[in-house]
Structure 1
Amino acid sequence: MNQPRVVLGVSGGIAAYKACELLRRFSESGHQVTVVPTAAALHFVGEATWAALSGRPAATETWERVHEVPHVRIGQQADLVVVAPATADLLAKAAHGLADDLLTNTLLTARCPVVFAPAMHTEMWEHPATQENVATLRRRGVIVLEPAVGRLTGVDTGKGRLPDPEAIFAACLRVLARGTAVADLAGRHVVVSAGGTREPLDPVRYLGNRSSGKQGYALATTAAARGARVTLLSANVELPAPAGVDVVKVTTALELREAAVKAAAEADVVVMAAAVADFRPTDYAAVKIKKRDGVEPAPIALVRNPDILAELSEHRARPGQLVVGFAAETDQVLANGRAKLARKGCDLLVVNEVGDGKAFGLDTNEAVVLGADGSERAIAPGPKEDLADAVWDLVAARLGAAEHG
């Protein structure tokens, strides 16, 4: 079996040292990696380090091995080009088609998926010039991951941090798994909810559910790998943030509703994969509820939470917006799913059976996707990322049909 050929471009930012970990993950998982650092990148990490970690000479000069035409062949022969970190300067050159070194020549000749993982100070990322360059690249089908929020160079903190190498690697694996058909969500903003809400009873207790958030995080990861700008509404999830995804943390159903309505205002697609509590305690005890000998606890009165999926479906924030729901059922799965689809008013409903040893907390899932148009598609058991890609296939087809309808 041929080793996937990956070009790892490294531009001149302090985060270049993190690319060493990304390179290690590619190499140890059987990928053939050619590192193409810029001259500035070599000030941060030397050529010997790249060669030692990849087991191959680093490609640094356009004029080396001229008879092999490296400025053309490296990009032509790659299955994936990933640039991490991608500086503001590198993004600008790529957006405008400049080719003044080996890496930018490689980007112009690549006919495979290209992924940029930007890293820079917040002001540079938010500058209109950088945002326009990113928008240009995304319109061309290039995948530009959103930077993470965190500590930057010096004492600065904000958006612009390179995503964790593990998360970049996971996104790249999804890109490689799909080959060239990866950017069908480019230019789209998608909102995904994940996890399970918790409704506090007292300072130490809550009403909750067993959702791990893995399916929602898989949806976010695969959407980013297909070029989308992703907002992930994360309800009590203990998972690392996917690369290139804006994470909004929530706890309760009311917090999730507020975040979902706000995020949906600018979204092309909203996928509500979180397990939202149907009820919450009417009263919250300010101190821990104590048990008393010989006294039975008072009944817990509940009040209904808002139906977020039905609300988003009824009040679409923008024309053509698609809304996808999830239905976790324990019995009469399809019958309950069809009834819920009619009741919720969403475009697609992903129905899966849950219970002991099914769905919750596992890395695998299976489902049937019901469409408001009467369609049904069964998704065979497999990794949750595969189910996520199947959902995005259906979404992308509907978005494309709407554009050409």
Structure 2
Amino acid sequence: MIEPMNSLANERILVGITGGIAAYKSAELVRLLIKRGAEVQVVMTPAAEAFITPLTLQALSGKAVRTSLLDEQAELGMGHIELARWATCVIVAPASADFIARMATGMANDLLSTVMLAFNGPIFLAPAMNQAMYSNPMTQKNLQTLLDLRADVTILGPDSGEQACGDTGPGRMLEPAEIVNRINAFSSPLLAGKKVVITAGPTQEPIDPVRYISNHSSGKMGYAIAAAALAAGAEVTLISGPVALPSPAGARMINVTTAIEMADAALEHSCHADIFIATAAVADFRPDTVHPHKLKKTSTSAVMDLHLVQNPDIVAQVAALGSKRPARVVGFAAESRDAEKYGAEKRIRKQLDMIVINDISVAGLGFGSNHNKVTILTGESRTEIGPSLKTDIARQLISFMAEHWQLNSSDLKENNEVSTS
């Protein structure tokens, strides 16, 4: 991925360090943040001091490192509140399993956890722990609790690979350069002034007043992309099928049920958009007749025949709008075999600028899961993202689009030709 060139000159970043072997990477993180122009204040938990000394971080940040909640001098001015007011964003790296659990339950038994309760702004957590600890259902529940309770929390990583204990798997802290790039992308309004239309969730095609044809889509990926686009400064219209998710704050919501309804809304709103992103899992077929009353079982037949007709191909229709076509059209392909082959064919056949492919046959990823792994195909590049939380993948997707198309420096609606780049 292209390294962002934007600086962090206007950012006051509080770097929280918790106990873990990855704490040695925090020194490089502080150095890189300052190199990008940020002002940095370090807060360490008592456990972090067992892995790296406050003096090291003080030398790099140019500020005295804060370590104690009960510091008499600092608390003369309500130091923990002042830290929360001072920071424009907080990054905890490494974020241990213990700290994530305490944060998820609202504990405030050290300086860093107290600041987190008092801080109102973007929070980035870079988990670092043994792969078994990260995969433990309690840790996953705690991470999800934070995402559900606080829209301003972003989980960065973790990476997968060999760990200090000898295990291999997810749990390695992201490299400092990657963390800085993610924070930089978040703080830069990459989609400022851009209009983005997103479809999400499944459709439901009625058979009768009781039954319908649908699929396993939860809408989580599309909703995460909507939230990421909003955070990047875009004006977002989210066209959603039936899901059990809260609406992203700030998005214009259009709720639909059937593929026909979604197609009508997509065609109406996409002609005013810079980017159209089709994440919805639209039913390919619908019953040609919707029965007005519930169909009854009969004792004479164990078979029900349904005649199905094809639904409109929404993303292909949007891509074929001609002069009203959004400058960029992005499709999604959920495949159970030969995912990249079918995705590449779909991108060309439907005249899409980009397609995002995920293999739904991989256990624990895709439909219904909080995690995903995707492959992005454009006319000249192939990029993999994940496996990671869908919220993290969504932010990386938005950053990739902005960097690939340089959205922050051009008005896409002035260049509205069909592209395969």
1:245 is displaced (CA, Å) by 1.3
Structure 1 equivalent of residue 366 of structure 2: 359
2:236 counterpart letter in structure 1: V
Percent of pairs identical after alignment? Answer: 36
Preserved CA contact (<8 Å) 1:291 1:297: no
Preserved CA contact (<8 Å) 1:233 1:250: yes
Distance 2:149 2:367 in 1: 25
The TM-score with structure 1 as length reference comes to: 0.58
Preserved CA contact (<8 Å) 1:171 1:224: no
Distance 2:148 2:229 in 1: 13
Question: Any gaps of 5 or more consecutive residues in structure 2?
Answer: 1-13, 18-44, 46-69, 71-76, 91-119, 123-145, 157-178, 416-421
Structure 1 equivalent of residue 137 of structure 2: none
Q: How many residues align?
A: 267
1:252 counterpart letter in structure 2: T
1:367 counterpart letter in structure 2: V
Preserved CA contact (<8 Å) 2:239 2:266: yes
Distance 1:210 1:388 in 2: 19
User: Which one of 219, 225, 243 corresponds to residue 219 of structure 1?
Assistant: 225
Structure 2 equivalent of residue 248 of structure 1: 254
Distance 2:389 2:326 in 1: 30
Preserved CA contact (<8 Å) 1:174 1:225: no
Distance 2:196 2:362 in 1: 31
1:232 is displaced (CA, Å) by 0.8
Q: Aligned to 1:241, what secondary structure does the other structure show?
A: coil
Structure 2 equivalent of residue 79 of structure 1: 89
Structure 2 equivalent of residue 286 of structure 1: 292
Q: Aligned to 1:259, what secondary structure does the other structure show?
A: helix
1:114 is displaced (CA, Å) by 7.8
Preserved CA contact (<8 Å) 2:271 2:326: no
Alpha carbons of 1:283 and 1:362: their partners in 2 closer, same or farther (altered >3 Å)? same
Preserved CA contact (<8 Å) 2:374 2:384: yes
1:338 is displaced (CA, Å) by 1.1
Structure 1 equivalent of residue 170 of structure 2: none
Q: Which moved more, 1:395-404 or 1:320-329?
A: 395-404
1:172 is displaced (CA, Å) by 2.0
Q: Aligned to 1:202, what secondary structure does the other structure show?
A: coil
User: Which one of 181, 187, 199 corresponds to residue 185 of structure 2?
Assistant: 181
Q: Aligned to 1:299, what secondary structure does the other structure show?
A: coil
1:238 counterpart letter in structure 2: A
User: Which one of 392, 395, 403 corresponds to residue 397 of structure 1?
Assistant: 403
Alignment of 1:196-235 (within 5 A): 196-235=202-241
Alpha carbons of 1:75 and 1:192: their partners in 2 closer, same or farther (altered >3 Å)? same
Distance 2:199 2:185 in 1: 25
Alpha carbons of 1:168 and 1:242: their partners in 2 closer, same or farther (altered >3 Å)? farther
Preserved CA contact (<8 Å) 1:333 1:352: yes
Q: Aligned to 2:286, what secondary structure does the other structure show?
A: strand
Q: Aligned to 2:406, what secondary structure does the other structure show?
A: helix
Deviations 1:131-158 (CA, angstroms, capped at 9, x unpaired)? xxxxxxxxxxxxxxxxxxxxxxxxxxxx
Alignment of 1:336-375 (within 5 A): 336-355=342-361, 357=363, 358-371=365-378, 373-375=379-381
Q: Which runs of 4+ in 1 moved over 6 A?
A: 73-76, 166-169
1:74 is displaced (CA, Å) by 8.4
Distance 1:168 1:381 in 2: 20
Distance 2:231 2:155 in 1: 6
Preserved CA contact (<8 Å) 1:172 1:225: no
1:324 is displaced (CA, Å) by 0.5
Structure 1 equivalent of residue 152 of structure 2: 172
Q: Aligned to 2:410, what secondary structure does the other structure show?
A: helix
User: Which one of 284, 300, 303 corresponds to residue 306 of structure 2?
Assistant: 300
Alpha carbons of 1:114 and 1:186: their partners in 2 closer, same or farther (altered >3 Å)? farther
Alpha carbons of 1:350 and 1:301: their partners in 2 closer, same or farther (altered >3 Å)? same
Distance 2:227 2:217 in 1: 18
Structure 2 equivalent of residue 192 of structure 1: 198
1:364 counterpart letter in structure 2: H
Preserved CA contact (<8 Å) 2:88 2:121: no
Preserved CA contact (<8 Å) 2:336 2:359: yes
Distance 2:384 2:362 in 1: 21
1:370 counterpart letter in structure 2: L
User: Which one of 267, 277, 281 corresponds to residue 271 of structure 1?
Assistant: 277
Structure 1 equivalent of residue 335 of structure 2: 329
Structure 2 equivalent of residue 125 of structure 1: none
Distance 1:264 1:320 in 2: 6
1:296 is displaced (CA, Å) by 3.6
Deviations 1:33-80 (CA, angstroms, capped at 9, x unpaired)? xxxxxxxxxxxxxxxxxxxxxx9xxxxxxxxx8xx9x99x98765327
1:375 is displaced (CA, Å) by 1.3
Distance 2:333 2:311 in 1: 17
Distance 1:347 1:262 in 2: 20
1:336 counterpart letter in structure 2: Y
Alignment of 1:56-67 (within 5 A): none
The TM-score with structure 2 as length reference comes to: 0.56
Q: Aligned to 2:230, what secondary structure does the other structure show?
A: helix
Structure 2 equivalent of residue 376 of structure 1: 382
Alpha carbons of 1:277 and 1:195: their partners in 2 closer, same or farther (altered >3 Å)? same
Distance 2:352 2:320 in 1: 8
